[in-house]
Amino acid sequence: MVPTPEVQLKPESVTKEPESLPSVESGLAVPTSEDAVDENLYLTGRPKLKDFLRYVRHHAVNPLDDGVLTDEWENAKTLVRRIEKEEAGIADNPPIRKMGTEYEPLLIEFLKDPLVRHSFNTVPTEVAFVELDRLVVYQKHIDLTFVRQLERKLGPMPTEEQIFRTCLPYDHPNLPSNGRACGITATSSCRPRTTFAFWAPCR
């Protein structure tokens, strides 16, 4: 990811959290007064230039000139192309390490979660360890406000159980989602952030 400088969301763009905030014990990161304004790192060079400019224009407190932002995007695009050539195939067949028996109670509870059962019930599914540096993940932006919330919640020396529960929570509340139509055959939904994990079947 080639990030731009931190982008602060305009106060009117900040989504208000529910009045009843989850407790730390629930496995969710709790916002504080320090998080009144969201901060994000936005991926440049890979999303379309017009998407990048629109995001900064609509979300940055003090957006830079389009010419400056375009130069940043072009430089990032050049870097992305170089990395694609230098690291071609790096994500192919990464080593996969099975989880030890100490994780068995956590795995049992996790696999009982209806959300997991309904999302991963078509093909055989396994939870295992893989090096992050061997993965290719496409993510347009990183929510730095949420990152700080997780840092405060986990502390400087999180346990293996804390890390597991944060990445793969199974005791999460059933939060409401907001859906809208994006066309004749497509819809999108938005739910309050609860974890940095992205669940989707992959091969």
For residue 104, which of 125, 121, 87, 127 has the smallest C-alpha distance?
127
Least reliable range by pLDDT among 41-55, 80-94, 100-114, 178-192:
178-192
Using CA atoms, how far apart are residues 69 and 54, in angstroms rounded to an integer?
Answer: 11
pLDDT-derived band at 15, boundaries 50, 70, 90: very low
Complete DSSP assignment for 71-123 = HHHHHHHHHHHHHHHHTTTTTSS--EEEPPGGGHHHHHHHHH-HHHHHHS-SS
Structural tokens at position 157 = 């020396």
pLDDT tens readout for residues 31-68:
555 555 788 888 888 889 999 999 999 888 888 999 99
Q: Given this model, what pLDDT does residue 14 score?
A: 38
Task: Give the angle 198-200-203 at the CA atoms, nearest 5°.
Answer: 125
What is residue 134's predicted lDDT score, i.e. its pLDDT? Answer: 87
- Token match 């003090």: residue? 62
Q: What's the pTM value of the predicted model, to 2 decimals?
A: 0.58
Mean residue pLDDT across the chain: 75
Give one word for 9, left, alpha or beta, with left for phi > 0 and alpha for psi -120 to 50.
Answer: beta
Mean pLDDT of 168-172: 79
Question: Nearest CA to 38 among 12, 72, 73?
Answer: 12
pLDDT at 124: 85
Q: What is the rounded CA–CA span in Å between residue 138 and residue 188?
A: 18
Instruction: Read off the pLDDT band of 198 (50, 70, 90).
Output: very low
**5/145 Cα distance (integer angstroms):** 14
